[in-house]
Amino acid sequence: MNIAKKRIWAIAGGKGGVGKSFLATNLSIDLAQHGSRVALIDADFGGANLHTFFGLNQSKISISDFINSSKLTLDEVMLPTDISNLHMASGAYDVMGMANPKQIHQSKLIKAIYNLKEYDHVVIDLGAGVAPYTLDLFLTATSGITVTAPEPTSVENTYRFIKSAFYRKLKNVIQHPEVRQFLEQISETKSENHPKTPSELINRINQMNPQAGEALKYEIASFKPKLLLNQARTSSDIRVGFAMKQACLKHFGISMDYVGFIEHDTTAVQSIRSRQPALLYAPDSQVSQSIRRVAHNIRQNYHLVPT
């Protein structure tokens, strides 16, 4: 396996309950069913639950064991599932403070994910919200996928997540002290004096340090998160994804790919209650067809365009 060709997909959500674990589980299954070797990693330290999607009460070994051991490798924590080609690492449990792991633990996990050699794809289910650990894993992935629902609160939290990830990316790469302080200020506070458009932001930073301004242009162009809309009931719901894409481009200069939507289907809830992924519980259902369309777009790097 050529590590350079391994794809790492980080699944994030601005708030809980939008369907990130649902997507992570079923995307992993779709990738495996197409012949890829897949590692599914539960990195939601505050609420690990991927094992329940596979009908397990608790895994016999987990990310907790890997983090707290000087001998275990991440490969040894990856356990086979009933799906051919798919292995899973259960999330941390019963570890005080693991919802916000220390920097040394974060670095250990991130490094280990990149050193996994036997997989074509690694799918990471992240915790909800904008914790630094979550943002860092999202930013170090090959592709970050944000999951939202069409409700206003979910949309608002998704914007907040994307903005937080964007500014953390900038702060991580720009070393100029005055510029870093300015980025921290505008990302953490609200003011009428803050830049309102990407061009205004670049101009302000150019005035402080032209080199940082050039770096900013590059980072804006290279930050391309993907967006998935879950629980779409109407055509108006579906259009929410296009509106979010336009808003991110206008306000942040971020070109976000809208990879598709998963239609609302009670079968999804039934599959979760049965502790079985939708693609296995009801492979011919409406929700499973939606999942396959989205997974195809993700695999092929396609995105939706308005019609």
- Give the DSSP letter string of 177-190: HHHHHHHHHHHH--
Q: So where are the chain's domains?
A: 3-155+227-300
Instruction: Measure the CA–CA gap between 19 and 188, rounded to whole angstroms.
Output: 27
Query: What is the pTM assigned to this prediction?
Result: 0.91
3-155+227-300 is classed in which CATH architecture? Answer: 3-Layer(aba) Sandwich (3.40)
pLDDT per residue rounded down to tens, the chain (307 residues): 444 478 999 999 988 888 999 999 999 999 999 999 999 999 887 677 888 888 877 677 888 889 888 899 999 999 899 999 999 998 866 544 555 667 788 889 999 999 998 999 999 999 888 988 899 999 999 999 999 999 999 999 999 999 899 989 988 888 888 998 888 888 878 888 888 877 788 889 999 999 988 888 888 888 999 999 999 999 999 999 999 999 999 888 889 999 999 999 999 999 999 999 999 999 999 999 999 999 999 999 999 998 7
Determine the length of the chain.
307
Strands 79-80, 86-89: parallel, antiparallel or unpaired by DSSP?
antiparallel
Strands 7-13, 121-126: parallel, antiparallel or unpaired by DSSP?
parallel
Residue labelled with tokens 């499973």: 288
Both tokens of residue 237? 């719901």
